[in-house]
Amino acid sequence: MNREIELKLECEPAALERVRRSRVLSRLQAGPARARLLHSVYFDTPGFALLKDGLALRVRETEGKRIQTLKTGSEGGTLASNRGEWETPLASGEEAPALNHLPADLRARIVELANGEAISPRLTSRIRRTARMLRTPEGDEIELAIDNGVLSADGREMPVSEFELELKRGAPAGLYRLALELADIVPVRIGLRSKAERALALASDEKPAAVRAEILSLAPRLTIEDAYVVILRHCLTHLLMNEAVTVDGSLSEGLHQMRVALRRMRSAFTVFRRVIGKDHVRRLSQEARWLATSIGRARDFDVFTSEILTPVEAGSPGDEGLAALRAAAEKARASAWAGARASLRSSRMTRFVLELALHLDERSWRGAAGQDTAVLGAPIGDFASRALDRRYRSVARLGRHIEDLDTDERHDLRKRLKRLRYASGFFASLYPHAATRRYFRALSQLQDDFGALNDVETAGAIIKELAAIEPDLAAQGKRVLAHHERRARKQWQSALDEWRAFRDEGVFWR
């Protein structure tokens, strides 16, 4: 078995030629370019049991030879995929895979997944590939493969236009450095899905779905430095898993999950900046904030049109004034979404993702002036408790006078609660589950109340903006706000009760 460590970058077909002729490749090239036609057939059950379990079984024909390959799912949580790979040459007459070439445990796994169903050709790809070996100044050896072609499944086709960077020797950080150089030449997007995974989506015709962050689990023996890497990679994966459904599918929940991922990311930078170093996290945190702000406006309009306008419209069906307000809001929403998609497709977004991946992989904070390496190597437990203490004290100071808070102070308390929630989520696995479950139940309810109150404040700003363009909308806006302000007064009373319940619950980390 080999391990395939690979970074995939997608781009427009016209950009492939610019990459092929770039000075970067001329400067790093360590061997001649080789062009081939690759015809691959992926084998699976009718229900794609193998691919859904992370296994890609294919037979590839190129230059008159057939190669059977089995790839397992990516491991390690890094931006570059890290897959197990088993390759076996087949005889000239063999067109189907031969499972006897695989290790016994994988054969058994495939047989179990098939559950008696036939494994037959399900997906195909026809790719023109130009590959060359590159050698970086750091000594990394990387194969660059420029792919242009088509995926086919169940009578449907999907174009392929991408280049893959596969690490042959060296450190994965070399992939990110090279990708950053290439991103300066052509606009690219990070490709998280393999060709087989994209063909599967094509065949199943499944609608894309937003992805919530998986529960984060930290081992108590983990060092502070290692916990920082695990948490940031977790946030980065959450962000990118929702990028395609947001950009290509305009899925509102996907955009919401991306904003949550960015907020969690910025919270992690703040939690660890004392030990990692402010200079090492400042720029990345600023870029995360830029992206969150860029997509936040679209999310605000999503909430306004669905959760603010809709309940009022339900009580006044056919109201022309509300219809005019809806039309103006939808127009502004479309503009906000166009801006969000532009930011997510931008080179700045790609560079941010690659720079964060490089930061984590090469641990660029090591050796910084005044940094205590012993602290970085300490177990995460005590650090987690101190970090949570700081955030809880920040909440408690403001919450002590919760009945007297003005609008700005309530907004500040909401943000402090959110930062406490994210930090608690990072470290919850280090503590007894029963205590954390009760705590999160109380904190989540409190956050929901404050979030609903903030939605009304945001709605007021949106109505003011729309009325500045179309003054006739002001009266309808007042109706909408009056409806929700009545609800907000009740919500505030609920928030006070939830605050007392949260305060009395006590913390789980002490």
Higher pLDDT pick, 372 / 187: 187
Compare 265 and 101 and report the one with higher pLDDT. 265
Tell which residue, 288, 193, 285, 212, has the closest CA to residue 251.
212
* Domain range 2-206, CATH architecture: Beta Barrel (2.40)
Give every CB contact of residue 331 below 8 A, 6+ residues apart in sequence.
Answer: none
Whether 369 shows a pLDDT value over 90: the answer reads no
Higher pLDDT pick, 250 / 340: 340
Residue 1 confidence class, pLDDT cut points 50, 70, 90? low
**pLDDT winner (highest mean) among 241-255, 378-392, 405-419:** 378-392
pLDDT of amino acid 73: 83
Average pLDDT over the chain, rounded to an integer: 92
For residues 403-429, average pLDDT: 93
Tell me what pLDDT residue 133 has: 96
Phi first, then psi, for residue 459 (nearest 5°) are -60, -40
pLDDT at 421: 95
Of 426, 283, 292, 274, give the one whose Cα is nearest residue 359. Answer: 283
pLDDT digits (tens, 9 = 90+) for 57-112: 999 999 989 999 999 987 766 788 888 999 999 987 788 999 998 999 999 999 99
**Phi, psi dihedral angles at 143 (to 5 degrees):** -90, 125
φ/ψ (deg, to 5) at 60: -110, 135
Task: Out of 32-36, 336-340, 444-448, 460-464, pick the least confident.
Answer: 444-448
Q: What is the DSSP letter of 470?
A: -
Specify the fold of 226-505: CHAD domain (1.40.20)
What stretch of H or E contains 239?
helix 224-241
Residue-wise pLDDT for 286-308, tens only, equals: 999 999 999 999 999 999 999 99
> Between helices 278-303 and 320-345, what is the axis angle to 10°?
150
- Mean pLDDT to the nearest integer, 443-448: 89
Question: Which residues, in sequence order, are bridge partners of residue 223?
Answer: 379
Two structure tokens written together for 304: 């306004």
Q: Tens digit of pLDDT for each residue in 138-194?
A: 999 999 999 999 999 988 999 999 999 999 999 999 999 999 999 999 999 999 888
Least confident of 9-23, 121-135, 363-377, 490-504: 363-377
Considering only residues 450 and 125, tell me which one the structure prediction assigns the higher pLDDT. 125
Q: What's the pLDDT band for 504 if we cut at 50, 70, 90?
A: confident
Average of per-residue pLDDT across 41-52:
94
H/E element holding 161?
strand 156-169
Domain boundaries in the chain?
2-206, 226-505
Q: Which residues pair with 153 in a beta bridge?
A: 123, 156
Helices 278-303, 347-362: axis angle to 10 degrees equals: 140
The predicted pLDDT at position 201 comes to: 86
CB atoms within 10 A of CB 132: 19
Q: In this structure, are strands 189-191 and 141-153 parallel, antiparallel, or unpaired?
A: unpaired
Q: Tell me which residue has tokens 């024909």.
A: 61
Q: pLDDT for 203-239, tens place per residue?
A: 887 777 899 998 899 999 999 999 999 999 999 999 9
Alpha carbons 21 and 14: distance in angstroms, whole number = 12
Rounded-to-integer distance, Cα 140 and Cα 134, Å: 8
